[in-house]
Amino acid sequence: MNVAKDRLRADIDAMTDITILRAGKGKRAGKKPDGVTVRRITASNGEKVTVRAVDANSPTFGEDFLYVFTKNVEAARRENKRLFGSASGVKKRD
């Protein structure tokens, strides 16, 4: 019985190691990067369209591209939800 208690105590002691790390100061979620230009233009049918352009020479090109891609996916999912009732674009079965 003492062996079982010693083993349990050893397991508990091994689980009590705590590591505390400071989180780096991150960017505000959804903030537009400096390398992205946003313009609202009017299409030929009169509809307003948002165009996001990425500066290819930006030092943060990867982050800029990811931001624009994420915004495009969000817009496509919103449109699918409006048209089909599902963000994935597949009609829901009745």
Q: For tokens 């990867």, what's the residue?
A: 62
Domain boundaries, the chain: 30-94
Give the model's pLDDT for residue 33: 86
24 has pLDDT over 80: no
What is the pTM (predicted TM-score) of this model?
Answer: 0.60
Mean pLDDT of 65-94: 84
The CA distances from residue 47 to 21, 27, 43, 52, 74, in Å, are: 49, 33, 5, 16, 19
Give 51's strand partners. 39
pLDDT digits (tens, 9 = 90+) for 31-76: 888 899 999 999 999 999 999 999 999 999 999 999 999 999 999 9
Is the CB of residue 80 less than 8 Å from the CB of residue 88? yes
